[in-house]
Chains A and B, each alone.
Chain A
Amino acid sequence: MSSGETIWTDDPPFPANAKRAVNNAQLRRNIRKATTTIRERRANLVGEMPDWQELRTSGAAIKDEVLRNLDRYLEQFEAAATGRGAQVHWARDADEANSIVASLVAATGETEVIKVKSMATQEIGLVRALAERGIAAYETDLAELIIQLGHDRPSHIVVPAIHKNRAEIREIFLKEMNDAPADLSDDPQALAEAARQHLRRKFFEAKVAISGANFAIAETGSLLVAESEGNGRMCLTLPDTLISVVGIEKLLPTFRDLEVFLQLLPRSSTGERMNPYNSVWTGVTPGDGPQNVHVILLDNGRTNVLRDEVGRQALRCIRCAACLNVCPVYERTGGHAYGATYPGPIGAVLTPQLVGVEHASELPFASSLCGYCYEVCPVKIDIPTVLVKLRHDAVRTGRHPVEGALFGAAGAAMKGRRRWTRALRLAPLMRFARRGGPPPLSRWTSVRNLPEPPDQSFRDWWVRQHESAREVIRERKRQ
């Protein structure tokens, strides 16, 4: 398995991570505040679209078409992009992708590069891999800059520093940004301005930029990056060399398909009608922008996901993070608890599939299956159904023998009327453990009582009613 930083530790222990997060009052407040705001913005903007459900259906259908014919679209993309002067590289996994990027940078003779915010490069752990080869990569997205300066990890797909409030950000800047003004306040404008000044020099000096892409167009060989700040566009236009790491599922068949996705994405992700900056480039434009354009098509587990009939829909994902913003679990645990590049509901279905369920066996259980993620997902990924499917895969790895035995026993009792009727007569025993009992029961009774058991089960009552009814009939007949 070569997954870069798809997961941060083998088999991330979600319940233990979540326990820590749930007890972190500041984190809870930061995330609740931020997700509630984005959630409302999204709901309002989606509400004004009469054809939202049709757009979702189209989005899902276009992505499914791509996934069904991925081989063909990838080759079409390669031919079109190459024809326009780009160089296309193929990377099977994180190591391959990182090596390709490193050698491309080395070939320019540069030791510093600037970066556009990108999930694919997070997933492969590119910044660290470059650092190991003596290349410094600077994040230019404001939130990613905060994470990088704070020696932290992103905790959200769109808003990586969502777990930090402005007072914390100010502290990071004062401590880690050598050119931060000494009188820096925690006003968002002031913080953004300080970051802008800090980045300015880098934008003008950098000769190499690294990006991901939101969409890759098979028909034209174009890439698109959507963003809010304009820093991405600086990276995409100023340097001589542009290297983009693109997951193979990012393809769309035609340019026209953007019509659907440029409506779905901004409303779902940032709660905007349009992304402030949509940058599109197609190979090299002589004399304008980067003259040295590379695209690395990244697999890193994606073709494995494609093999799973139920799970493959996760590859439709356009990383809008709407599912994170509405998730009641994410809202209380934040993103780090998932221990992986992709947090929240999409992470819970994507990570185990990318790295193998045995390397992320707790993640499919990190959900109450409330279904809110499915309701908001712009490409209609049925996350709850995929979660259940992955739970099925996870229990088959045999890691939970005690639980398996308990479910087996319950299942056995349910497979015969007499057995079940007798089992229900044990319910009154529950009376002795309503507020306590040994684990795993204590995980329930630590905060809630068990119900007071009834004197008889419903079926015993039903049968008794019948008996008395039949007695009445018999009695009447006798008379």
Chain B
Amino acid sequence: MSNDRETLRVALFATCLIDALFPDAGRATVQLLERLGQRVEFPLEQTCCGQMHANSGYFEVELVGRYVDVFSRYDAVVVPSASCAASIHHQHPMIARAAGDEALAVRAESVGSKTYELSQFLIDVLGTDDVGAYFPHRVTYHPTCHSVRLLGVGDRPLRLLRNVRGIDLVELPRWDECCGFGGTFAIKNPDTSAAMLADKMDAVIDTGAEVLCAGDRSCLMHIGGGLERIRAGVRTLHLVEILASTEDEYRPDRAPARSQPGAAPARSQRGAAPAATEEPPG
């Protein structure tokens, strides 16, 4: 693998949510992959995989076509979101077929087969479960439903976390229970969603962790928004933000600063400038 590895053409699909609201997770992905020797490209034509639409009943075949067009020329696409990766694998071909576009369905299957959720890319493609991270905090990990049940990432994220230096990793009680996010479920069935959220927050608080992490920023937005509302004193970080932290760069004051949304750029301005392969908009 190591020979291919150097010549792999890797693209980042940041997902619409990270692009719009959680750029820290996107920057951390770039940083981590570059630290591991990958040159990452971010094709600016990308927007959204259409999962939120599809799960609400709106099949946006144009977004499927867009994803396929933008990413078909890469050897690997890395997605820091298990639910988007699962949607790309399973829903894209289905949406194309529902629209009667078999050719697109076949292309979607092919691009899907080289689309990797972050932990799968690190372990299955790069062949490492120790990314040399350092994160001296008490952390608990919520295995999101789509990462475990739809995508089958198994214990990959935990293997990566266990190898983080300084981490105090505690198991989340009743970890296999859904947090109640479910995309527009949180809006359409607010009472049921809130009841599920309350139980998830209980479990998180029970661990005494200061950080809750997961491979899906969307679920974290829901749980984190609830934790913030009740002033639980637990912050949420995407798994990749923990994996991107290193002892070298680590300053005890930085992690809290990053959790203050809006104060984030500190982290991004370190690190090498990304590979200038993509023309910025003119």
Contacts and interface: CB of A to CB of B under 8 A. Distances in A.
A368 B185 contact: yes
Contacts of A414: 16, 47-48, 50, 60, 63, 66
A411 B178 contact: no
Contact of B221 (A408, A451, A461): A451
Interface stretch (A15-23, A81-89, A134-142, A311-319): A15-23
A418 B265 CA distance: 23
A447 B90 contact: no
A239 to B, nearest CB: 44
A18 B58 contact: no
Interface stretch (B115-123, B248-256, B272-280): B272-280
A132 interface: no
B94 interface: yes
A162 to B, nearest CB: 17
B100 interface: no
A23 to B, nearest CB: 8
A237 interface: no
Interface stretch (A68-76, A107-115, A281-289, A462-470): A462-470
Contacts of B55: 369, 388, 391
A14 interface: yes
Interface in B182-218: 182-197
B276 A470 contact: yes
B268 interface: yes
Contact of B226 (A22, A448, A466): A448
B56 A407 contact: yes
Considering residues B91, B145, B189, which has the most beta carbons from chain A within 10 angstroms of its beta carbon?
Answer: B189
B222 interface: yes
B196 A407 contact: no
A418 B47 CA distance: 10
Interface residues of A, number: 76
B195 A22 contact: yes
Contacts of A452: 260-262
A446 B193 CA distance: 11
A456 B65 CA distance: 27
Contacts of B184: 365
Interface string B39-69: 0001011011010111111111011001000
A372 B261 contact: no
Contacts of B1: none
A372 B145 contact: yes
A167 interface: no
Contacts of A466: 273-274, 276, 278, 280
A264 interface: no
Nearest to B183: A369
Contact of A469 (B45, B176, B187, B274): B274
A451 B224 contact: yes
B57 A417 contact: no
A18 B60 contact: no
Given A328-B177, A466-B274, A410 B53 contact: yes
Contacts of B19: 424, 457-459
B280 to A, nearest CB: 4
Interface stretch (B20-28, B132-140, B158-166): B20-28
A392 B59 contact: yes
Contacts of B178: 328, 368, 370, 372
A388 B192 contact: no
A296 B160 CA distance: 58
A329 interface: yes
Nearest to B144: A370
Nearest to B70: A417
A455 B265 contact: yes
Interface residues of B, number: 78
A420 interface: yes
Contact of A395 (B52, B56, B94): B56
Contacts of A261: none
A185 interface: no
B14 interface: yes
B126 interface: no
A421 B280 CA distance: 12
A380 to B, nearest CB: 13
A208 B101 CA distance: 56
A391 B183 contact: no
Contact of B91 (A332, A388, A443): A388
B278 A366 contact: no
Contact of A448 (B192, B225, B264): B225
A458 B14 contact: yes
B180 interface: yes
Nearest to B45: A417
B181 interface: yes
A367 interface: yes
A329 B229 contact: no
B262 A455 contact: yes
B171 interface: no
B274 A427 contact: no
Contacts of A371: 145-146, 149-150
Given A417-B281, A421-B281, A375 B66 contact: no
B98 interface: yes
A45 interface: no
B73 to A, nearest CB: 16
Nearest to A473: B276
Considering residues B47, B60, B194, which has the most beta carbons from chain A within 10 angstroms of its beta carbon?
Answer: B47
Given A417-B281, A427-B21, A469-B273, A392 B98 contact: yes
Contact of B54 (A328, A388, A457): A388
B169 interface: no
A279 interface: no
Nearest to B236: A451
A129 interface: no
B63 A454 contact: no
Contacts of B62: 411, 415
Nearest to B178: A370
Contact of B149 (A370, A411, A443, A456): A370
A459 B264 contact: no
Interface in A249-293: none
Q: Closest 7 interchain pairs by CB?
A: A368-B182, A448-B225, A391-B57, A469-B273, A371-B149, A370-B178, A452-B261
Interface of A: 14-15, 18-19, 22-23, 28, 328-329, 332-333, 364-372, 374-375, 384-385, 388, 391-396, 403-404, 407-408, 410-411, 413-415, 417-418, 420-421, 424, 427, 430, 435, 440, 443-444, 446-459, 461-463, 465-470, 472-473
13 contacts: A328-B177, A392-B58, A392-B59, A395-B57, A403-B56, A408-B58, A420-B47, A448-B197, A449-B228, A454-B261, A457-B23, A459-B44, A470-B276
Given A410-B53, A472-B273, 20 more contacts: A328-B196, A329-B192, A365-B185, A368-B145, A368-B180, A368-B193, A371-B145, A371-B149, A391-B55, A392-B59, A407-B53, A411-B60, A415-B63, A417-B281, A444-B225, A457-B20, A459-B19, A462-B30, A463-B280, A463-B281
